[in-house]
Structure 1
């Protein structure tokens, strides 16, 4: 990197941090710590995804490409994970179990794959089964095209809805001027497919000339949070903005979420992307963060183990290294609280079947939040 570019980078980082200290007045430190943290799985570098198996074990993706089964207090390497391109924000990303996993054994993965046309990589979705610590019956369900050597904005979270459809996110792959607003191109979208990769007949762009028919919504930047609302069944998403303008959205069929035509963020250099923050036919976020917190991973709390948090939304912050609790009433954020402040870059947060909240922190591992 040239010196001039390096100086500009550090200037932007310092300016962003300064803005956070001056403008982020809406978040509160907890008045009383009503839980402790227990390190459950240690020695992890970048635990991007985690899924909880019926026997209490945890399946963990490491961004660098490893698939780990944590069982009986031991880490077991799964010997044949998908081949990933570990570059920039790409690598081995999310993991999700089929809602009927106990009966059918299907596990779903998202990762950056070099398969297909062009140099570089793009996001792929695979399903497989686990047998004797190996993946079997591997099937590629979706592969975004074309590949690109850019190393950012792969997405990529996975979530099932109450009807058994699989949703997944793919970021704009650094091509904001083309991908997010064009339904004939992959990138900057939320997708919906059947559990076996088939395209649902009622997807919004069925019959549209040239459209990627797996697309469910568009106009997204880089969604790294996807979760189902425990009461309404709606799919909620959060995505990285540029400098400012990280968003929380409720995903609706066929809707356009605006990027980059409308945004509350600006370029990293400080210049404007657009003068518009709204436009007819484009959705407004439920909430947006300015400055950007770098959101990654999200879950709603429905467990009785945290009665004061029930119905709240939890989101991890990579940029400021904390867990954020958001109280939401009528799709409006009414209160924000900072938890686990300074513990590290919080990559993922999940509520497990045992009712506990688990968080994945880069360079440390997976922690469980245990109420006092």
Structure 2
């Protein structure tokens, strides 16, 4: 009897884990081309306006891939030292919206040591196969350990940018502390400074760069070009993965409010909702491990226009999250038949979908209608 009671209590503690019936996109609807293979821990993909593609590899490599699959290494000799321990390394790459005139790219990397590291934001000019005029714009508060780095970049219509920062895993309570950058999204101008209208500028003890707080590990962020809304995908532990609509000064709850399960299978907190905390647009428990985010705005898949594309490591697919009137109205699984861990996704200028698989022998894929 005691044994039955304990089992029942454990089930009650975990709470219900609803099953989602998510349909696979019929592979007969699309073709998949391997644009480049043999990649070593690729982390980010960013299309260039001329049809070429930039991608990063965590060990510290930046590459240009042309439409025919030719790969050109870009010299990163001018970059500051990159810490590659654990989940660290060279991470995001983002192409300046004015790239045709500026040739600027923005990169994130992990700086520091195993015991004190975090994300660094760098700006450089892409000159052929090398980076020039490298400038460090921002260093986030150091954290202990090599996980939960965030480090994604998105540009806002007012020429500022958002940088996502993880909670560092072992110091998750710091996500609620405004004096540091852990578990925060920060907003910066193109020179790495805190804009004067950031929500916590002038508050005693608060880091002026902070845009929002209460995040665990935001590994995807996009700005909807139609309305300027910022959307982010957040990686929970065993659950509590989220899609959030971000607002200046918003508190997204971690670790006080979350539907997620910890790695021990216990609930992180008894609270799923409290006054003063933002609720996600969408939550996944169990975890799918979202690792990036793109908004589909191309012409090749008109039925997905406005949808979010969410590459998932654990689920081994790209979730197509359809939206209407600011709400989530449906989900589908793209590329689930391949069984690959999906690291990043982007929309090419021609409307095809670029997908990076994950790992030490990964690939850049191009998905187009059949």
For residues 217 and 269 of structure 2, the distance between their equivalents in structure 1, rounded to whole angstroms, comes to 18
Contact persistence 2:355–2:364 (CA under 8 A) = yes
By how many angstroms is 1:264 displaced?
0.4
- 1:176–1:221 contact (8 Å) kept in structure 2: no
User: What residue number does 1:231 align with?
Assistant: 226
For the residues of structure 2 that align with 1:147 and 1:238, how far apart are their CA atoms? 22
In 2, the alpha carbon distance for the partners of 1:365 and 1:357 equals: 14
| 8 Å CA contact retained: 1:167, 1:191 | yes
Q: CA RMSD in A?
A: 1.8
Task: Report the 3-state secondary structure (helix = DSSP H, G, I; strand = E; otherwise coil) of the residue aligned with 1:110.
Answer: strand
173, 178, 198: which one pairs with 1:178? 173
Give the structure 2 partner of residue 324 of structure 1.
319
Q: Could you say which residue in structure 2 is the equivalent of 1:80?
A: 76
Q: Which moved more, 1:63-72 or 1:155-164?
A: 63-72
3-state secondary structure, aligned to 2:292: strand
Aligned to 1:240: 235
Asked whether 1:27 is paired with 2:22, we answer: yes
Please tell me whether the aligned partners of residues 47 and 347 of structure 2 are also in contact (alpha carbons under 8 angstroms): no
Cα offset, 1:33, TM superposition: 3.2
**Structure 1 unaligned runs (5+)?**
1-18
Gaps spanning 5+ residues in structure 2: where? Answer: 1-13
CA separation of 1:328 and 1:299: change in aligned 2, threshold 3 A: same
Which moved further from structure 2: 46-55 or 316-325?
46-55
> Do the aligned partners of 1:128 and 1:136 also contact (CA within 8 Å) in 2?
yes
Residue 302 to residue 288, structure 1, CA distance change in 2 (3 Å): same
CA offset at residue 28 of structure 1? 1.2
Aligned match for 1:104, one of 99, 102, 105: 102
Mapped partners of 1:30, 1:80: distance in 2: 39
What's the offset of the Cα at 1:23? Answer: 4.3
Which residue, out of 291, 299, 310, partners 2:294?
299
Give the corresponding residue for 2:9: none
Q: CA deviation at 1:61?
A: 0.4
Residue in structure 1 matched with residue 129 of structure 2 by the alignment: 133
SS at match of 1:281: coil
Q: Give the structure 2 partner of residue 351 of structure 1.
A: 347
Deviation at 1:177, TM superposition (A): 4.1
Residues 1:272 and 2:270 are matched in the alignment: no
Residue-by-residue CA offset, 1:173-198 (whole Å, 9 max, x unaligned): 11444320011011101111111112
Matching residue of 1:9: none
Q: Under a length normalisation based on structure 1, what TM-score does the superposition of the two structures give?
A: 0.89
Q: Tell me if structure 1 keeps the 8 A contact 2:120–2:138.
A: yes
For 1:133 and 1:79, the matched residues in 2 are separated by 6
The one-character-per-residue Cα deviations of 1:136-192 (angstroms, maximum 9, x if unpaired) are 1111111012242x1110002111011211111010011444320011011101111
CA distance in 2, matches of 1:112, 1:317: 22
Distance 1:53 1:27, change over 3 A: same
SS in 2 for 1:43: strand
Cα pair 2:47 2:346 within 8 Å, conserved: no
C-alpha contact 2:172 2:216 (8 A) present in aligned 1: no
Counterparts of 1:212 and 1:49 in 2: how far apart (Å)? 28
**What are the Cα deviations for residues 110-149 of structure 1, in whole angstroms up to 9, with x where unaligned?**
111118xx9442111000012242211111111012242x
CA contact (8 A) 1:227 1:298 kept: yes
Provide the residue aligned with 2:277 in structure 1.
282
